[in-house]
Amino acid sequence: MTTQPFADFLKTHHKATSESLHQEFGEQAFLLVREPGNPPLIVTLDPSGGAIGSAPESAYLAEGLAATHCEIRYHAGFTSWVLVALEQTGVNGTLAPVDRPLVLASRDELRFPTNRVKVQFYSAETLIKRLHTAGATKRMKRPVVTSSAPAVELAETAVTPPEPPAPAPASSSSAEERPSRRMTRAASSHGVSWG
Confidence of residue 187 (pLDDT cuts 50, 70, 90): low
**Whole-number pLDDT of residue 142:** 45
d(CA 122, CA 127): 5
- Across the range 49-53, mean pLDDT stands at 88
What is the distance, to the nearest Å, from the Cα of residue 88 to the centroid of all Cα atoms in its chain? 25
d(CA 121, CA 106): 6
50 compared with 169, residue with greater pLDDT: 50
Outline where DSSP puts E strands in 76-181: 80-85, 90-91, 94-95, 102-103, 109-112, 115-123
What DSSP state is assigned to residue 79? T
Confidence of residue 101 (pLDDT cuts 50, 70, 90): very high
d(CA 73, CA 118): 18
Strand order in the sheet with 70-75: 60-61, 50-53, 70-75, 80-85, 102-103
pTM above 0.75, yes or no: no
d(CA 112, CA 19): 33
Tens digit of each residue's pLDDT (9 = 90 or more) over 1-43 = 788 888 888 888 878 887 888 888 887 888 888 888 889 989 8
Question: How many beta carbons lie within 10 A of that of residue 171, not counting itself?
Answer: 9
Q: Which CATH architecture has domain 2-133?
A: Sandwich (2.60)
Secondary structure class of 15 (helix, strand, coil): coil
